[in-house]
Structure 1
């Protein structure tokens, strides 16, 4: 058995996962991210212990603990380099958990681990190489090559959201201009919809949906409007798809994976989004005589974080 920890800005979710990547038992508690790193880490330790006690599985049978972090990590030392959601910088995470529980601990980026989960038990199962794009507030990514997580020399190889794909009208939070996540995230489409509405270039049903308050605007409203033929919403979604497809084609040219998996909140749009992305990637790919790379939706939903973290532990114990 393995323990998976999905540490987010809102919740800490911990689960017990077996060798076949099946989630057997899980619990979660609020993160309360305004607290100190030490307090949050103690909550993680206590929740892991609760999981083990509740399930009645001997602690000696837990082979490893994996932890997914929404930020940059040093997977060699087990330290969190930076995590904006938690306001962490250079926080040791591996060592205090190992010292408290006596079980090997491994950490990595949460989007990378979502990819590992899909590889072990979801949309990537049965392939050797694949890339996940998590489309949410930002754009996260995970790269699997020959069955192994590709993190790069400094551990930043999967920062797909910060691939520059064009020139934008505003800068990314990272300080650069043109990052993929400024075009193809929920934040990006909300910003662009607001821009078009303020310019009053066309009528839109979105105005009625949000009742004059941009705080009510979200990706679901925009995609639903596009599906129903709203011209402004279609313009927003087409732009989203255009730049997402540029990013995918760039990754095909560099890595040539067997499959791309689209995850995150926006992927819940389903077939409408999937069909548009497949069509645009096929239209813009460089090598027209080679079949377009398979593109699918993620399958594991909210369980991906825990399962991926647990499978990180499995990968390290096997190797």
Structure 2
């Protein structure tokens, strides 16, 4: 039995997870990030303790895995930066170990979600695989030879911050041209607003947003594109163009067996998938050689909890 914690900007969600990756119990409390890191860490410890106390099985939890929306040092468990929580140089593992007498393993939330997708949903059939989470930003979980990798400093899976072009706005990280400024939900919303507000372009999305471009969201844009709205189609095709550029760079670097698309935008399903696969094959080098399979990730809201627990299991093996 393992404990998985999915630390998000809204909730601290935790679960007891068995050896097969099945969540047998959940607990959750609001994150309330404005209170600062110490208060949030206290609540993480509280969620872990609640799960330990409520466990009625014969198996006791043997380790804790935590997925965070930022970077964790793989050696110390410190969090040098987590912009979504406004954390800088937070000794997360050390603070938790003062209260929790279990091994604790911490990594980026997309990395642990990748563990869930590869080990549970895909049943461990792939040893070289990548999960791309297309949401507010773009996260990635990378598996090489059956092991999740984040690099020497813990920042090696920040695929959303690889640079794929020059954009009309700068990423939160300070660079211009990051993939997530082209192919995330934030990116397509910003592009749609830019084209309408600054360039006078027309779109049915405005009516869908009750006449206020501040109300535009990714779901509206995809819905309008599926209905043939020209600006929405242009926006989605732009997303796909740069996503395919990023993915072909992944193929050239890692040659994975499969690339899974997760996150909120993956809810568009085959509409997005078919466009991405077509664009990827257009960019393919050495046309006769095989290329990674591309598919929509299977797990949704539970991927963070189950993946964090399975991440701990992998490290205890």
TM over 0.5: same fold? yes
1:53, distance to aligned residue in structure 2 (A): 2.0
Evaluate the alpha carbon distance shift between residue 317 and residue 6 of structure 1 in structure 2; reply closer, same or farther with a 3 A threshold.
same
Q: Distance in 2 between matches of 1:197 and 1:123?
A: 41
**Paired positions, count:** 317
1:160-175 to structure 2, matched below 5 A, reads 160-175=159-174
For residue 232 of structure 2, what is the aligned residue in structure 1? 233
Secondary structure of the structure 2 residue equivalent to 1:75: coil
Residue 9 (structure 1) aligned with residue 9 (structure 2): yes
1:94-150 deviation digits (Å, cap 9, x = unpaired)? 122223121000100001111111011114731111001110111111100111111
1:155, distance to aligned residue in structure 2 (A): 1.1
1:241-290 deviation digits (Å, cap 9, x = unpaired)? 00000000000000000000101111111110001001110111112102
Q: Distance in 2 between matches of 1:131 and 1:74?
A: 21
CA contact (8 A) 2:206 2:216 kept: no
1:293, distance to aligned residue in structure 2 (A): 1.2
TM-score normalized by the length of structure 2: 0.97
Q: Distance in 2 between matches of 1:158 and 1:195?
A: 30
CA contact (8 A) 1:281 1:292 kept: no
Q: Distance in 2 between matches of 1:219 and 1:37?
A: 31
Q: Distance in 1 between matches of 2:176 and 2:196?
A: 23
CA contact (8 A) 2:251 2:291 kept: no
For residue 307 of structure 2, what is the aligned residue in structure 1? 308
CA contact (8 A) 1:124 1:130 kept: no
Unaligned 5+ segments in structure 2 are none
1:234, distance to aligned residue in structure 2 (A): 0.3
For residue 75 of structure 2, what is the aligned residue in structure 1? 76
For residue 263 of structure 1, what is the aligned residue in structure 2? 262
Q: Distance in 1 between matches of 2:198 and 2:93?
A: 50
1:38, distance to aligned residue in structure 2 (A): 1.6
Unaligned 5+ segments in structure 1 are none
Evaluate the alpha carbon distance shift between residue 144 and residue 124 of structure 1 in structure 2; reply closer, same or farther with a 3 A threshold.
farther
1:6-64 deviation digits (Å, cap 9, x = unpaired)? 01110000001111111111111110111121211111111111112223246x82111
Q: Distance in 1 between matches of 2:44 and 2:57?
A: 18
Cα RMSD after superposing both structures:
1.4
CA contact (8 A) 2:111 2:141 kept: yes
Q: Distance in 1 between matches of 2:35 and 2:124?
A: 38
CA contact (8 A) 2:255 2:291 kept: no
Q: Distance in 1 between matches of 2:299 and 2:207?
A: 34
1:82-102 deviation digits (Å, cap 9, x = unpaired)? 111211111111122223121
For residue 21 of structure 1, what is the aligned residue in structure 2? 21
Instruction: Out of 179-188 and 118-127, give the one that drifted further.
Output: 118-127
For residue 49 of structure 2, what is the aligned residue in structure 1? 49
Q: Distance in 2 between matches of 1:314 and 1:16?
A: 12
Secondary structure of the structure 2 residue equivalent to 1:302: coil
For residue 156 of structure 1, what is the aligned residue in structure 2? 155
1:267-278 to structure 2, matched below 5 A, reads 267-278=266-277
Instruction: Out of 88-97 and 293-302, give the one that drifted further.
Output: 88-97
TM-score normalized by the length of structure 1: 0.96
